[in-house]
Structure 1
Amino acid sequence: MKLFWIGLILSLFSYNTYSQNTNAHRLSGSVKSQTGDALEGAYVKINGKYFWTSTDGNYKADLNSGTYELHVSMIGFKDVDTIIQLNQDLRLDFTLSTSVTGLEEVLLQGHQHRKTSQQVLYVENEYLEKQFSGSLATTLERMPGFNAMQIGSGASKPIIRGLGLNRVAVTENGIKQEGQQWGADHGLEIDALNVENLEIVKGVGSIAYGSDAIGGVVRIKNNTLPVEGFTGSVYSFAQSVNNSLGISVKLAYTENDWFFKGKFTGISFGDYSLPAEQISYLNFNIPIFDEQLKNTAGKELDWYTQVGVVKDNFSTRLSVSNVYQKSGFFPGSHGIPDISRVQPDGDSRNIEEPFQRVNHFKVISNTSFIYDNGELELDFAYQKNHRQEWSLFHTHYGNQEPPEVNPNLELDFDLHTYSTRAIYHHTINSENETQVGADLQWKNNDIGGFNFLLPEYQAGNYGLFAIHEYEPSANNLWTLGLRIDYGTIEMEGFYDPTLYDFLIRNNQTEEVASAYAQRSEEIDRNFTSFNARLGWDHDFNETWSSKVNVGTAFRLPTAIELGANGIHHGSFRHEQGDPNLEPEQGFMFDLNLAYSRNSWNISLSPYAYFFSNYIFLKPSGIFSLLPHSGQLYQYTESEAILSGIELAVDKEIGRWHFSLAGEYLYNKQLTSDKSRNFPLPFTPANNLFTEVGYQFFQDSGIFNNSELSINNRLVMEQDRIAQGEEITPGYALWGLSWQNELKINNLKANINIRVDNLLNERYFNHTSFYRRLQIPEMGRNIQLNIKIPFGS
């Protein structure tokens, strides 16, 4: 609790430390769109000084008497210029009309954004903080068509429309996040509390972001400009299910045309509780003592800095960040379950072996040059993702000796990624805008540890793309996108003499022993791909609108799919790649129908994909000769279809608020033998989320904008399963939440109390890493979030 109370005391102290300059005339006002929505982050330039609007679209400046030139601008809207004479306090409001350049319109909780033919959900920092659930992907699970692949209580990965891992790209400030995305037991190295704004692009995002965006893109935008002066906030949270404590501190300073931002997050959590006294796996009955899953504790330490300069025709930002995560694995998830290893040790917060540790260091440079009819964006980035799995040295061979250095280091992946991205936007006229871009990336992955799963490799991806937008009228927007990609990958060979000796001693022939001992062959391959997408955004009237997208998509085979050859702990199986796999190719159709009237917002989105060679892990029917490995699973490719429909409903009646988000998924392999047309692996179950909220204390002085809500997440039984998966029963989870804005004199605080899994339901998540171990998900959780802003 020390971190929590220290953060709270600092927050309470800080509000009294900073005061505003009142020895001048106050110029204030708001900046809104034509529809009346507040525009956050709009530039208000006053005689060479920059100010930026807050989340509610307001700005303010303390100025001496005199004449001032005002310039108001925001991307996607037409600029406004005016001259004022200031000799007393003045309020001046602006309404900006939309422009063709970069229009994108997405509705979420009443906010309007730039118009686009793609389906995009816009998520603000305020929503992320209120709904924070320990990781970014689980925080976003209320969004229609979005699910999380969970790894314990502190890590998760995004799934969009049933596609995850290397089929969903996550970007920050235009740069694709690169880690070991292929692993179901690897989390996403992103600080969820550091995200300022976020967009979920549903459907193919390959045109703008290349390979890995075949299912969609999670676009993180951390380039919001702070308001003038010194500002900051302290965010603290606590969770009961794993005794989690966390604090996130944000600081920002802006003066004239430069700014600085600094952020720090620290999280510590213990073994999480689950409503079970034992689990059964591989004919073992493994006890769960005190209903706590041993060795699932962890910690996270993140920091982020950004410095930038913003001028009339030029802006540049440099961001440097680091995410460090360490979390334990349940002892039964590595190797054969052993009851002695799950005995309680009296400390629910210690992290013993086996555990995973990852450090993701990132440097991103974003520079923009603005011209009369265009804008040039240049992005450069370097990422170092160092992931390790530690486990007490164990061998199945008998003749294998532990390494002299770090003998308990089982797997070590050290990935270095260099990225360059250049995009030029050109406004031809009021109806046409074109952007052309180049996307270059180079990766180098080194390996270590006493176990072998993935060889060392170097890979390059190089892409050219063009996107043209044509808006013949206010009700129609056409988008055409083209992209060509060239990819290379070189993988190192690896021969395992220890395995060769083991197999010979077990009476295998030299031919068989040599074939198994050659864990990976040298691979030198290159790939090319050409893709196109056509989109149409049409407003029938003020009530009805639609978006239609058709196009192709691609994904380059990954190193794990081409060259894996070893036992993957947690899956208890021998996984083997295929060096002859071809790039994944697909065709997609995507439709969205939207209705908006009298506070009703309804969206219906059917979609369908066809893959000519979908890559997945398939049981071979052959038992591996590696000891304790079971059946051999091989990466293979097959024709496949994936379809579904999403529904979102939002309605306000007085102080009541109703929302609903649901999805139905259907997919399967397509083979010559219809009896073998199994569903695709890692497919989330059909689900429906509903919430009812009531607002009170809307403006009572101390309590403001309070809302009490109850929610239910209904998940159907997942009986459409891939080979090697198990049927997962359905379940229903109830939750409660209360959020409130507290104001006492100059102190402001946002308080959110939430109860998840209110009835302590015992259930399984079909996409969870621990599902195959028959381990249920977390039990009842009570969470408290407090955010206290301060500054000018």
Structure 2
Amino acid sequence: MKYITSVILFLVITTMYAQTITVLERDTQEPISGVLIYAAKKNKTVTSNLSGRANLEVFSASEALFFQALGYKILKLRKADITKANNLVYLQPKLEGLDQVLISASKFEQRKRDIPQTIVNINAGDIAFDNPQTSADLLESSGNVYIQKSQLGGGSPIIRGFSANRLLITVDGVRMNNAIFRGGNLQNVISVDPFTIQNTEITIGAGGVAYGSDAIGGVMSFYTKKPNFAQNDTLQFSANAVVRYATANQEKTGHLDLNFGLKKWAFLSSVSYTDFDDLRMGRHGPDDYLRPEYVVTENGEDVIVQNNEPRVQKPTGYDQINLLQKVRYQPENDLNFDLGLFYTSTSKYPRYDRLIRSRNNELLAAEWNYGPQGWFMANLQITKTNANRQFYDKVQTTVAYQNFQESRFDRDFQSAIRNSREEAVNAYSMNLDFEKQLTQQHYLFYGLEYVYNGIHSEGETENIETNVTLPAVSRYPDGSSWQSIAAYASYKFKPSENFVLQTGLRYNHILIDADFTENNLFLNLPFDKTEIDTGALTGTAGISWSPNDMLQWRLNGSTAFRAPNIDDVGKIFDSEPGSVVVPNQNLKPEYAYGGELGLRLNFNEFLRFDMATYYTYLDNALVRRDFSLNGETQIEYDAELSTVQAVQNASEAKIYGFEVGMEAHFTEDLRLTSQYNVIGGKEQDENGMEVPARHVVPYFGNVHLIWKHTDVKADAFLEFNNELSFSQLSPSETAKDYLYASNANGNPYAASWYTLNLRTQYQISNTARISATLENITDQRYQTYSSGIAAPGRNLILALLYSF
């Protein structure tokens, strides 16, 4: 009897397990939650869970089932056929993706068709296939973001002519921008580990209402992976391991992530380590980019040595480690607690563009290194849905702490004095975000934000011959603080599926407190303390109108701002040889006023065009200009007589452009995509004359031919840049002629370039996948605009992923 009971129990359990299926996206192999599964009469329905799983025991074996989800084509399958296919169901994304759910525009989920702005989404499948070395490379793969690099350990995004602290970076909804984000190029984005990113949403254009200061040109929102819960009372374990190698910089990367899931608790641990050697440039291109010589220190003496391999950029190598720990607790279906702990650290890495500078044909620097760049974040997010309260239906509370570590070490050629400056920022933030559906047609999003940044900064000089260390002027006023207090509200009116109106307002109040007492021991500033108390009101209004399935119009107008930060108010540094930037206490916010008109055309799920034209006017622009200190226009800084400069509200800029994307599906397996960006802009110089704007990049674009069949995927693609002539370069760029090729008259210009590339992926089994990419097949030698380092030459990248 016991034997019979055991057999029956075994058969029942086996039958129940056999009727549990998993719904996956066809291209990415990622699970799809919220899939509605129903029979023809719709009298029985099932929905897939967060892991894409659903139990089909309510349906008979002969029934035909329909699978329906937002953003995917409806699929019809017989239940018996699903069993034969190992209980796996694959859904195909719709071409135009208007039902795709996005977050970044309002901080809450909305369909793409409801958002009047241009938003680019890069999902986990795209990231896994692109296999980027850094998150800067990930952004570049979108085709809408331009990346500048001053060194291998870097990557400064440029969107629609805006860069650095005029763009906002968020990680899981927390702003990464801090009080020392500068107007020059930034490399903080590489702190985000691409292996941990679930999806990235890039808001093209202003995002001031939802995110406040800095979101003038766009918002780059990184959403990292969440732990997966178990579907029953037993522990669910899964893991992924990746190894990768690249030839151009001898990259060696290893990654491991582990997921432990229970019914209400889930844990995700991740570690990634990357080691880069010196980067090799291409064979065919301007000789101006070659590295014929470099400085080494032998027996305590600096000497210039000839580079036996001038295409190898010495020194550029560094290494980086990324750690992530996620904890998720779901006591109820409508209540979630998400804790994320992030830690990233690099080795010291050379700032290559400073090491190639010369005077009278002699290299200027013996050393110029960024010290280890460190970033830590602890982020707790509590989300309550289905609240049905009087003032909100959904509320999300986010509390975060971040610590940023930066340092700089430089020494002139054959000098005994090494200058070092170290900075740390402790950033605290709290956000309360609410969503309320007032009626079937009216929606309200609103919230509060508080941000506090405390800055530590110190400077010293070291005599490397005597080992004597002395205090020196720090880069920022030590102990200074920056605070932001804000409230926002956004309203959505949706009278029909075809028309949406969205509008919103945000008020930000900024407080800055900077004490220059210590730095006045070295600089005779006319003040000891700076306090800034200012506010900014921004707004947006836009419509999305889809008169039919083929056509969608988007029209959006917005204002955005950037408040002065500690970098603007209190920075002291050498901007270029012979110039020094000093503090300026008379600053106020800069404002941007912009408009965008977009058109999306969808021809019967076969061909899609996505176009937009835009214009932005930047008023009271914060720019670096010549300045006087106590009536003096020159002072001695780091033992060099230098022209005095300061950040000032001294300019205005006009940025305009046009962008178009195309996607064509020739068959279910073969598609063609392309993106092209045209950007122009002018700004005022010191004499009030219009000159080319600094961060207006060359016209750029790409073309991808993608083929996927069963377990194989291949992408043959072209990337290209137009030329920027000498007359098209901004004055600040022509002054950095060491970054550029020289034309026939000896003047700097940004040369045009293209690369041919091939990326492939093969799914060896359910648990193993291999990818191989051959970049820059024709071995072109080129630099992206304003970059101090040449891009990789021919580069073979091999990667192996194993899941268990």
1:298 to 318, 328, 339: 318
Please name the residue that 1:181 is paired with. Answer: 181
Query: Given that residues 209 and 506 in structure 2 are in contact (C-alpha distance below 8 angstroms), is that contact kept between their aligned partners in structure 1?
Result: yes
1:59 to 28, 53, 58: 53
Q: Matched residue of 1:170: which SS? A: strand
Pairing 1:134-149 to 2, within 5 Å after superposition: 134-149=133-148
Please name the residue that 2:162 is paired with. Answer: 163
**Cα distance in 2 between the residues matched to 1:74 and 1:517:** 66
Distance 1:671 1:573, change over 3 A: closer
Query: Given that residues 105 and 116 in structure 1 are in contact (C-alpha distance below 8 angstroms), is that contact kept between their aligned partners in structure 2?
Result: no
TM-aligned CA deviation for residue 217 of structure 1: 0.7
Q: Unaligned stretches of 5+ in structure 1?
A: 1-20, 67-71, 78-83, 345-351, 403-407, 500-515
TM-aligned CA deviation for residue 245 of structure 1: 0.6
TM-aligned CA deviation for residue 789 of structure 1: 2.2
TM-aligned CA deviation for residue 295 of structure 1: 2.4
Determine whether 1:480 maps to 2:503: yes
TM-aligned CA deviation for residue 418 of structure 1: 0.4
Distance 1:541 1:63, change over 3 A: closer
Distance 1:185 1:29, change over 3 A: closer
Q: Matched residue of 1:139: which SS? A: helix
Please name the residue that 2:705 is paired with. Answer: 692
Pairing 1:274-353 to 2, within 5 Å after superposition: 274-275=281-282, 277-278=290-291, 287-290=306-309, 291-310=311-330, 311-329=332-350, 333=354
Distance 1:100 1:247, change over 3 A: closer
Residues 100-156 of structure 1 deviation map (CA, whole Å, 9 limit, x = unaligned): 9987799xxxx9857322211111122123223322122221324311122322321
**Cα distance in 2 between the residues matched to 1:333 and 1:92:** 55
Distance 1:755 1:65, change over 3 A: closer
**Cα distance in 2 between the residues matched to 1:741 and 1:92:** 19
The code of the aligned residue for 2:202 comes to: I
2:439 to 404, 426, 429: 429
Distance 1:682 1:740, change over 3 A: same
Distance 1:22 1:781, change over 3 A: farther
Q: Matched residue of 1:145: which SS? A: coil
**Cα distance in 1 between the residues matched to 2:337 and 2:315:** 44
Determine whether 1:641 maps to 2:654: yes
Q: Matched residue of 1:449: which SS? A: strand
Pairing 1:383-532 to 2, within 5 Å after superposition: 383-391=402-410, 410-450=420-460, 451-456=473-478, 457-494=480-517, 516-518=523-525, 521-532=528-539
Query: Given that residues 668 and 679 in structure 1 are in contact (C-alpha distance below 8 angstroms), is that contact kept between their aligned partners in structure 2?
Result: yes
Please name the residue that 2:375 is paired with. Answer: 360
TM-aligned CA deviation for residue 651 of structure 1: 1.2
Please name the residue that 2:194 is paired with. Answer: 192
Q: Matched residue of 2:548: which SS? A: coil
Determine whether 1:208 maps to 2:210: yes
**Cα distance in 2 between the residues matched to 1:624 and 1:677:** 29
TM-aligned CA deviation for residue 589 of structure 1: 0.3
Q: Matched residue of 1:669: which SS? A: strand
Query: Given that residues 196 and 225 in structure 2 are in contact (C-alpha distance below 8 angstroms), is that contact kept between their aligned partners in structure 1?
Result: no
Distance 1:586 1:778, change over 3 A: same
TM-aligned CA deviation for residue 588 of structure 1: 0.9
Pairing 1:522-671 to 2, within 5 Å after superposition: 522-568=529-575, 573-598=579-604, 599-618=606-625, 624-626=635-637, 627-628=639-640, 630-637=642-649, 638-654=651-667, 655-670=669-684
Please name the residue that 1:761 is paired with. Answer: 780
Please name the residue that 1:249 is paired with. Answer: 256
Query: Given that residues 752 and 784 in structure 1 are in contact (C-alpha distance below 8 angstroms), is that contact kept between their aligned partners in structure 2?
Result: yes
**Cα distance in 2 between the residues matched to 1:429 and 1:740:** 47
2:399 to 380, 388, 401: 380
Determine whether 1:776 maps to 2:763: no
Runs of 4 or more, structure 1, over 6 Å off, are: 30-33, 62-66, 72-77, 88-106, 338-344, 393-396
Q: Matched residue of 2:19: which SS? A: strand
**Cα distance in 1 between the residues matched to 2:723 and 2:136:** 20
Distance 1:279 1:463, change over 3 A: farther
**Cα distance in 2 between the residues matched to 1:644 and 1:454:** 36
**Cα distance in 2 between the residues matched to 1:313 and 1:594:** 36
Please name the residue that 1:677 is paired with. Answer: 690
**Cα distance in 2 between the residues matched to 1:784 and 1:223:** 24
**Cα distance in 1 between the residues matched to 2:261 and 2:59:** 23
**Cα distance in 2 between the residues matched to 1:330 and 1:586:** 32
TM-aligned CA deviation for residue 718 of structure 1: 5.0
Bigger drift between 778-787 and 596-605 goes to 778-787
The code of the aligned residue for 1:25 comes to: Y
Residues 698-750 of structure 1 deviation map (CA, whole Å, 9 limit, x = unaligned): 23xxxx13324132323332542222312432222223223223234x5431x
2:799 to 781, 785, 791: 785
Query: Given that residues 142 and 689 in structure 1 are in contact (C-alpha distance below 8 angstroms), is that contact kept between their aligned partners in structure 2?
Result: no
**Cα distance in 2 between the residues matched to 1:75 and 1:649:** 22
The code of the aligned residue for 1:52 comes to: N
**Cα distance in 1 between the residues matched to 2:380 and 2:320:** 25
Query: Given that residues 733 and 758 in structure 1 are in contact (C-alpha distance below 8 angstroms), is that contact kept between their aligned partners in structure 2?
Result: no
Query: Given that residues 674 and 704 in structure 2 are in contact (C-alpha distance below 8 angstroms), is that contact kept between their aligned partners in structure 1?
Result: yes
Pairing 1:4-153 to 2, within 5 Å after superposition: 22=14, 24-29=16-21, 40-42=32-34, 52-53=49-50, 58-60=52-54, 115-153=114-152
Query: Given that residues 208 and 539 in structure 2 are in contact (C-alpha distance below 8 angstroms), is that contact kept between their aligned partners in structure 1?
Result: no
TM-aligned CA deviation for residue 673 of structure 1: 5.7
Query: Given that residues 479 and 534 in structure 1 are in contact (C-alpha distance below 8 angstroms), is that contact kept between their aligned partners in structure 2?
Result: yes
Query: Given that residues 356 and 363 in structure 2 are in contact (C-alpha distance below 8 angstroms), is that contact kept between their aligned partners in structure 1?
Result: no
Distance 1:250 1:100, change over 3 A: closer
TM-aligned CA deviation for residue 484 of structure 1: 0.8
Query: Given that residues 158 and 695 in structure 2 are in contact (C-alpha distance below 8 angstroms), is that contact kept between their aligned partners in structure 1?
Result: no
TM-aligned CA deviation for residue 459 of structure 1: 0.7
The code of the aligned residue for 1:264 comes to: V
Query: Given that residues 24 and 63 in structure 1 are in contact (C-alpha distance below 8 angstroms), is that contact kept between their aligned partners in structure 2?
Result: yes
The code of the aligned residue for 2:654 comes to: I
Q: Matched residue of 1:204: which SS? A: coil
Q: Unaligned stretches of 5+ in structure 2?
A: 1-12, 38-45, 61-66, 73-78, 231-235, 283-288, 295-302, 461-472, 735-747
Per the normalisation by structure 2, the TM-score is: 0.77
Determine whether 1:736 maps to 2:767: no
Query: Given that residues 43 and 53 in structure 1 are in contact (C-alpha distance below 8 angstroms), is that contact kept between their aligned partners in structure 2?
Result: no
**Cα distance in 2 between the residues matched to 1:76 and 1:659:** 18
- Would you say how many aligned residue pairs link Structure 1 and Structure 2? 694
Distance 1:475 1:169, change over 3 A: same
Distance 1:269 1:38, change over 3 A: closer
1:724 to 707, 732, 738: 732
Distance 1:227 1:738, change over 3 A: farther
Query: Given that residues 548 and 591 in structure 1 are in contact (C-alpha distance below 8 angstroms), is that contact kept between their aligned partners in structure 2?
Result: yes
Distance 1:32 1:194, change over 3 A: closer
Distance 1:630 1:754, change over 3 A: farther
After superposition, the CA RMSD in angstroms is 4.1
**Cα distance in 2 between the residues matched to 1:157 and 1:480:** 31
Distance 1:497 1:484, change over 3 A: closer
Per the normalisation by structure 1, the TM-score is: 0.79
Query: Given that residues 756 and 782 in structure 1 are in contact (C-alpha distance below 8 angstroms), is that contact kept between their aligned partners in structure 2?
Result: yes
Residues 601-632 of structure 1 deviation map (CA, whole Å, 9 limit, x = unaligned): 21111001112211122356955543436544
Query: Given that residues 768 and 800 in structure 2 are in contact (C-alpha distance below 8 angstroms), is that contact kept between their aligned partners in structure 1?
Result: no
The code of the aligned residue for 1:120 comes to: I
TM-aligned CA deviation for residue 332 of structure 1: 7.3
The code of the aligned residue for 2:193 comes to: D
Distance 1:690 1:576, change over 3 A: farther
**Cα distance in 2 between the residues matched to 1:473 and 1:64:** 35
Bigger drift between 221-230 and 606-615 goes to 221-230
Q: Matched residue of 1:155: which SS? A: coil
